[in-house]
């Protein structure tokens, strides 16, 4: 590290560190290694597929995020045991039942557990209230086209847009979309594609999205709808959706029974030549997330009995192609990495099944919805 102030001799020399100090790039990793060693000495077992989750003799689970530690147990006695073990090595500040964690809030009502970000949303809305954003009933209107053609071209236009906090608002809404609000994920992903040179139309769409978020800030995800341990993943795509480069949009949502635990909207990394090819690429991305979640839940430490594992798609051609080992003139160009899905289907890691488009929950991650479609999704996913 650079010499601290006060050294006047040999100023071109630097200090050699004998241990990690706060503020270095390596500090976070060094702290994790220290914490990991201590937990292993205390006979904690780390989940094989999840670096920051530990189990202690099937009594309680420990979740680690930097220096924040959350303990989960069935009774207070086990929680006190975990606290006592950690106090042997660390100076702890023991708080009460977890109500807030990393920008998320937890709420118990009638034996059910909900997660939301009401306070964070209110904070963001207050921060941007000076822009007088309109209240909207949709994240993004159906039929609205977004393109780089709406980006500024003149120097004056670019300077005017540079004074608007486009990226700041994008970061705030992306934080909400990825944690508790899957209904705005598509809109956030779409508007993020113009962050390098946003236009006034893109900014106005962001303000409308913020207005929608404020009007629906009381939406909560119910984490209690888990009974049979069935893992379901819905996948969908929109062929050649991007007006600038004709790249398709993909999306998926993964549920444990009826509780959503992972979702994503993404712009594909290749130009697909057909709807079938687009769906196949999206299925591959969904399958990667599905098998990771499956591996986490199947860890011996958790002692869970995971039952069905299903991947849903509304395109019969993509399902048929994924089940077939053969190529033809229309499919032999598809990149080999996407045939990863075929191996998973062949090995029966999960069941690939057809679902009608109107029942596909992933539809909302690939295109704008009319209000009726949006409300149908929200009623199924959220506690409104």
pLDDT in tens, the chain (384 residues): 778 787 777 777 888 888 888 878 888 888 899 999 999 999 999 988 888 999 998 889 999 998 889 999 989 999 999 999 999 998 888 888 888 988 899 999 888 999 999 999 999 999 999 999 999 999 999 988 899 999 998 889 889 899 999 999 999 999 999 999 999 999 999 999 999 999 999 999 999 999 999 999 999 999 999 888 899 999 999 999 988 899 999 999 999 999 999 999 999 998 988 999 999 999 999 999 999 999 998 887 787 878 889 999 999 999 998 887 767 666 776 777 778 898 999 999 999 999 999 999 999 999 999 999 999 999 999 987
Residue 69's nearest CA partner among 14, 43, 31 is 31
Residue 84's nearest CA partner among 70, 74, 94, 98 is 94
> How far apart are the C-alpha atoms of 282 and 250, rounded to whole Å?
5
> How far apart are the C-alpha atoms of 311 and 286, rounded to whole Å?
8
Residue 47's nearest CA partner among 271, 270, 297, 285 is 297
Class of domain 226-383 as given by CATH: alpha beta
> How far apart are the C-alpha atoms of 376 and 337, rounded to whole Å?
35
Tally the residues of the chain. Answer: 384
Q: Contact at 8 Å (CB) between 241 and 271?
A: no
Residue-wise burial string across 274-309, b where 16 or more C-beta atoms lie within 10 A, e elsewhere: ebbbbbbbbbbbbbebbbebbebbebebeeeebeeb
What is the torsion angle, in degrees rounded to the nearest 10, for the CA atoms of residue 352, residue 356, residue 360 and residue 363? 110
What's residue 94's pLDDT? 87
Number of Cβ atoms within 10 Å of the Cβ of 236: 29
Q: Contact at 8 Å (CB) between 259 and 224?
A: yes
> How far apart are the C-alpha atoms of 174 and 180, rounded to whole Å?
10
- The three-state DSSP-derived secondary structure of the chain is CCCCCCCCCCCCCCCCCCCCCCCCCCHHHHHHHHHHHHHHHCCCEECCCCCCEEEECCCEEEEEECCEEEEEECCHHHHHHHHHHHHCCCCCCCCCCCCEECCEEEEEECCEEEEECHHHHHHHHHHCHHHCCCCCCCCCCCCCCCCHHHCCCCHHHHHHHHCCCHHHHHHHHHHHHCCCCHHHHHHHHHHHCCCCCCCHHHHHHHHHHHHHHHHCCCCEEECCCCCCCCEEEEEEEECCCCCCCCCCEEEEEEEECCEEEEEEEEECCCCCCCHHHHHHHHHHHHHHHHHHHHHHHCCCCCCCCCCCEEEEECCHHHHHHHHCCCCCCCCCCCCHHHHHHHHHHHCCCCEEEECCHHHCHHHHHCCCCCHHHHHHHHHHHEEC
Residue 252's nearest CA partner among 240, 260, 264 is 264
What's residue 232's pLDDT? 96
Q: Contact at 8 Å (CB) between 252 and 264?
A: yes
What's residue 22's pLDDT? 80
Q: Judging by DSSP bridges, how do beta strands 112-116 and 249-256 pair with one another? A: unpaired
What's residue 329's pLDDT? 60
What's residue 3's pLDDT? 80
Q: Contact at 8 Å (CB) between 288 and 338?
A: no
> How far apart are the C-alpha atoms of 92 and 30, rounded to whole Å?
19
Where, residue-wise, is CATH 3.30.420.10 in the chain? 226-383
Number of Cβ atoms within 10 Å of the Cβ of 33: 12
């Amino acid at each position: 590290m650079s010499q601290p102030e006060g050294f006047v001799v040999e100023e071109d020399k630097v200090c050699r560190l004998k241990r990690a100090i706060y503020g270095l790039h390596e500090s976070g990793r060094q702290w994790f290694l220290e914490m990991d060693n201590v937990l292993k000495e205390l006979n904690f077992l780390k989940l094989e597929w999840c670096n920051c989750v530990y189990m202690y003799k099937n009594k309680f689970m420990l979740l680690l995020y930097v220096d924040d530690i959350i303990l989960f147990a069935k009774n207070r006695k086990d929680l006190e045991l975990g606290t006592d073990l950690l106090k042997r090595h660390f100076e702890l500040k023991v708080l009460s039942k977890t109500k807030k964690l990393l920008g998320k809030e937890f709420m118990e009502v009638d034996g059910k557990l909900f997660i939301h970000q009401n306070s964070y949303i209110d904070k963001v809305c207050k921060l941007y209230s000076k822009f007088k954003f309109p209240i909207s009933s949709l994240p993004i209107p159906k039929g609205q086209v977004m393109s780089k053609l709406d980006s500024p071209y003149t120097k004056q236009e670019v300077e005017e847009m540079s004074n608007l906090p486009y990226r700041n608002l994008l970061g705030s809404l992306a934080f909400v979309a990825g944690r508790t609000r899957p209904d705005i994920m598509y809109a956030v992903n779409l508007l993020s594609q113009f962050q390098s040179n946003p236009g006034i139309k893109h900014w106005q769409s962001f303000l409308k999205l913020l207005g929608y978020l404020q009007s629906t800030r009381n939406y909560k995800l119910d984490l209690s709808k888990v009974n049979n341990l069935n893992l379901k993943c819905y996948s969908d795509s929109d062929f050649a959706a991007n007006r600038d480069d004709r790249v398709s949009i993909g999306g998926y949502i993964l549920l444990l029974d009826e509780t959503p635990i992972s979702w994503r909207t993404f712009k594909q990394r290749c130009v697909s030549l057909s709807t079938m090819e687009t769906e196949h690429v999206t299925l591959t991305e969904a399958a990667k997330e599905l098998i990771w979640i499956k591996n986490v839940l199947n860890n011996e430490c958790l002692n869970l009995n995971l039952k069905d594992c299903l991947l849903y798609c509304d395109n019969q051609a993509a399902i048929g192609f994924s089940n077939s080992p053969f190529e033809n003139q229309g499919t032999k160009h598809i990149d080999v990495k996407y045939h990863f899905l075929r191996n998973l289907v062949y090995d029966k890691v999960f069941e690939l099944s057809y679902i009608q488009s109107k029942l596909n929950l992933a539809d909302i991650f690939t295109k704008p919805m009319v209000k009726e479609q949006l409300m149908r999704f929200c009623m199924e996913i959220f506690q409104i």
